Amino acid sequence: MRRLLLALTLVSCTAPTSVTATSSPAPSPSRSAAPLTTSLPTATLRSSPSVDPASIPQCVASQLQAVAAGVQATDFFAGAVFVANRGTAACTLRGNPEVVLLTTAGSPLDVRSASVTAGTPKIVVVPVTEFRQDSSGIQGIGASAPLRWENYCEDVLPTSFRVTLPDAGGVIAGTFVDFTGKPVSTLGVARCDDASGPSTFTVYPFQEPVQ
C-alpha cells in the first residue's frame, strides 16, 4: 500500500495564518462525482544538491508546468499542486504560491483562501523534469505545494486553476490529473459539513517531493 503522503503532510502542518475571501462564481452545472482514486502519489526522493541553492536562479512561470490532484480524506479534502521544470536548467522555488480554483467560466470558486507560512521558507531546487503517467503514481514531480480543502457545499465544480508564484515569478495556468497523471475534468471537492459555514482552501509552502 502506498504511503498517504499528502494527508500525513497536511495533518502535521500548523493552522492558517491569513485568510482572504474571494468573489462568488457564476452558476455552473451541478456537482458530479469526480474520477478520483484513493491512492496518493509517489515521487522519487532527491538528495540535497551539491551546489548552494542560493546560487541557482529563481524559477519563472514560463519554464514551469503545474498540475493538481486530490482525494477526499477522513475529515478534509487533501491534494497538492505538482510542478515540473520544462526549462533547460535547474531553478528554485521558495515560499507560498497563491492557488485559485476556477470554474468553467474562468471565475474564482467561492471559497476563502488561506496560506500556511514558515518562518524561514525553504529553498526548493527544481531540476529539469517532465510529468509522466504511471500506474504507481504520477512521475516527474520537481516540487509540490500541499493543499487542504474543507467544507464545500456548492454545486459549482473547479475545472482548472492558476498558480501565482512568490517573489514575482509569474502566473501558471494549471490543469487537473488523477494520481496516475491522467488528465481529469475536475479536482473533486471537499465534503459539505456545514451549509451555513465558509469553505476554506489552504495552501502550504513549496516542498521537495518525498517518498
Q: For 178-192, how does the pLDDT look when each residue is reduced to its tens digit (9 = 90+)?
A: 999 999 999 999 999
User: How much is the pLDDT for 32?
Assistant: 41
Q: Give the containing element (helix H, strand E) for 66.
A: strand 64-72
In a domain, 79, yes or no: yes
User: How much is the pLDDT for 210?
Assistant: 65
In a domain, 211, yes or no: no
Q: Can you list the residues of the chain whose pLDDT is less than 50?
A: 1-49
Tell me the pTM. 0.79
In a domain, 22, yes or no: yes
In a domain, 41, yes or no: yes
| Residue 112 near residue 119 (C-beta atoms within 8 A) | no
What is the count of structural domains for the chain?
1
User: How much is the pLDDT for 3?
Assistant: 32
Reference 9, options 37, 36, 43; nearest CA is 43
The domain containing residue 52 runs over which residues?
Answer: 5-203
Whole-angstrom distance, CA of residue 158 vs CA of residue 12 = 26
Complete DSSP assignment for 139-188:
B---EEEEEEEE----SPPP-EEEEEPTTT--EEEEEEB-TTS-B-S---
Whole-angstrom distance, CA of residue 113 vs CA of residue 19 = 6
In a domain, 209, yes or no: no
User: How much is the pLDDT for 119?
Assistant: 77
In a domain, 210, yes or no: no
In a domain, 147, yes or no: yes
Residue entry with cell 467560466? 105
In a domain, 107, yes or no: yes
